[in-house]
Structure 1
Amino acid sequence: MLRPQEQVADAMLDGWRNQQLARNLTFSTIEGRLNAVRAFNRHADAHPWEWTPKMVDDWLGDLRAVRHLKQSTLRNYAEAVRSFCAFITDPAYGWAAECERRFGTHPIQVCHEWNTATHLQESEADPAKRAFTREELQAFFDHAGEQVERISGAGRKGWLPAFRDATLFKTAYAYGLRRRETRMLDLVDFGPNPHARMFGDFGVCYVRFGKAMKGSPPKRRSVLTVGPRDGVGGLDWIVEILTQWIEEVRPAFANAHGPALWPSERSLRIGFSQMNTRFAAYRDALRLDQGLDFHSFRRSYVTHLIEDGWDPRFVQEQVGHEHASTTSIYTCVSSDFRTRTLRKAMESTVDAALRTGRKNR
């Protein structure tokens, strides 16, 4: 080897990448982990067989104190380094013996419980992140509709993308979808529900790009269109909106020949940046809380269904959570709902006491 240290270090990273590919992890996950290891390597200014736990301490301390990264991000970085060290110290891959032969030393595990952050809670999301209140959600949707009318009335071209994004936001809320799930919807991903034929061809939304777990393929699920229940308005208004979008507005796009439900002006499918930019513009125009993001549509879906009395198990199945505890994290019931629930419980207790008193007389 002309540059043995550099070549061995590069070969280690290539081998680790292949190991992760064999585990069926997504390319984006693998690339993110590789970038984290490379970043640590640059900070340590040492080869993997020269790393020490103190170097990890200095690196994570710098990321937290100087760059102010969040705890979940720091833990992901540390986990990437820990996983890489586990690979190069595993006798099955022979890197320890190779380093001993070439450099007179061997790599060690540098990430331990005593120098990395541990995962102590089920949810470590930013506490500022929350669901929309019903009033905020209505204001957001009204504003999105007003922008379509304003741009169209001014004779400008942008009304088509504005209409698309307004429909996209409403669809994300009406079916409790994640951002990627919403973006990846195709025209064929809706179908009739034989038990609710009043919704026509939009009785079911088939989610094909759900959140994957531990190297598995995207998780599929079917989300039913929710109608009114016990006098409480449902989410079936989305049927009329989607019908108008697909039959009247979407065909005006140059890329309407593609399968995507949300075509872009320049490509077959809308991009994440377009979705994020439009959402932030509407939120900021209404001076809403910065803690509201695209995922707040999903939080709101769970919260509002629970408030309206839908069974928690049904809601869990709708959003595709494996555990009920995950759904409970999403539930941000309003103070009005809690007050109504408390009042109802107290009234039931008082009525039961009065009935018992009358019987005793």
Structure 2
Amino acid sequence: MLNHPLEDYFHFLQIEKGLSDNTLKSYKRDLRDYKLYIEKVAQKSSWESVGRNDIIGFLYMLKDSGKSSATISRHISSIRSFHQFLVREQLVQQDASLHIETPRKERKLPDVLSQKEIESLLAIHENSPLAIRNKAMLELMYATGLRVSEIITLKVSDLHLTMGFVQCFGKGSKERIVPIGDVAIKAVEDYLQQARNQLVKQNANHVLFVNQHGRPLSRQGFWKILKKIALDAGISKKITPHTLRHSFATHLLENGADLRIVQEMLGHEDISTTQIYTHVTKTRLKDMYKTYHPRA
């Protein structure tokens, strides 16, 4: 009784809402945990019998197990959306998730590299095909702020180097156009002319960046490459692929870019998501003031 509506909802998210695979996986993970609680702990056999107290009990269980407020907020969002679907499809009469309060998220400022650290990270001078590829990948990521999932799925046909932009398909397969600077264009052109054909070999592949076997890079593969390059560059900060995206946005704002333009380039639907970077720039300005002003 509980399973069929849930599977119908996942089908709705995939087909009608067009959610990305990663977002869909997140919904499935959250709601299957929720269903298990409703079955085993609340001992309910239908969604009609689920009440507000059952949802609150599930959220308390998450809190007691040490889940962060951000994780609990994400579960609440998934549960709300599912219960709204049940009402809309007339599978239940009332929305049990109404008036469930979302905990305040701990607003953690993203890790950002300084411009000097970026210069060190991108100072790759080797001439091997893999080194040329790495240089092109990191230059392009810092130049555009693309997500790692967007970089590794980028196709050669998505590049428009003579016009100075890249065509990107982000979350929910939404298309956006992002400009590229001359340095990144040169690095990508070097990769296309000098290295990519040596890596792709016999198996022609439309994906721009490939591994040493000529196949598309995985997220884990990209992360390993980035961590090794950061280590070689002497960067001690914890660095992830998203650090380059954070650095891209922060450096643009520090140099006077308009917040709306940065929002568009990052592919954020809501400008409040982009506004986190204004907090980062203010924090960095305060740090610089304290470091360099004689009376700070």
Q: TM-score, normalised by structure 2?
A: 0.77
- Which letter maps to 1:54? N
Which deviates more, 183-192 or 328-337?
Answer: 328-337
Aligned equivalent of 2:183: 237
* AA of the residue aligned to 1:117: T
Cα distance in 1, alignment partners of residues 180 and 55 from structure 2: 49
Which protein, 1 or 2, shows the higher relative CO under an 8 Å CA cutoff with sep ≥ 6?
A: 2
Q: Which structure 1 residue ranges, 5 or more long, are not aligned?
A: 1-7, 97-106, 153-158, 193-200, 213-217, 227-235, 344-361
- Deviations along 1:7-56, whole A, 9 cap, x unmatched? x3332223323433453332633443233222122223132344343332
SS of 2:240's partner is coil
Q: Give the SS at the match of 1:113.
A: coil
Distance change in 2, residues 1:22/1:306 (3 Å):
closer
Q: Which residue of 2 aligns with 1:165?
A: 134
User: Closer, same or farther in 2 for the Cα pair 1:131/1:287, shift >3 Å?
Assistant: closer
Give the whole-Å Cα distance in 2 for the aligned partners of 1:16 and 1:306: 40
Q: Which residue of 1 aligns with 2:52?
A: 53
Matched residue, 1:225: 180
1:251 aligns with 2:251: no
How many Å apart are 1:83 and its aligned residue?
2.8
**In the aligned structure 2, how far is the partner of 1:324 from the partner of 1:52?**
34
Match in the other structure for 1:348? none
- For this pair of structures, how many residues does the alignment match? 279
Structure 2 vs 1, CA of residues 129 and 278 (structure 1 numbering), >3 Å: closer, same or farther?
same
Deviations 1:127-177 (A, max 9, x none): 1523211122122223xx27xx4xx8xxxxxx5445423321121001222
**4+ residue segments displaced more than 6 Å:** none
| RMSD between aligned residues | 3.3
User: Larger radius of gyration, structure 1 or 2?
Assistant: 1
| AA aligned opposite 1:61 | Y
Is it true that 1:209 corresponds to 2:209 in the alignment? Answer: no
Specify the alignment match of 2:102 in structure 1: 117
- TM-score, structure 1 normalization: 0.65
Q: 1:221 to 1:264 in 2, by over 3 A?
A: same
Kept in 2: contact 1:129–1:293 (CA 8 A): no
Shift in alpha-carbon separation, 1:338–1:220, aligned structure 2, 3 A:
farther
Taking the aligned partners of 1:274 and 1:126, their CA distance within structure 2 comes to: 29
Secondary structure of 2:192 counterpart: helix
Q: How many Å separate the matches in 2 of 1:55 and 1:171?
A: 48
3-state SS in 1 of match to 2:34: helix
Q: How does 1:61-140 map to 2 (within 5 A)?
A: 61-66=60-65, 68-90=66-88, 92-93=89-90, 95-96=91-92, 109-114=95-100, 116-117=101-102, 127-140=108-121
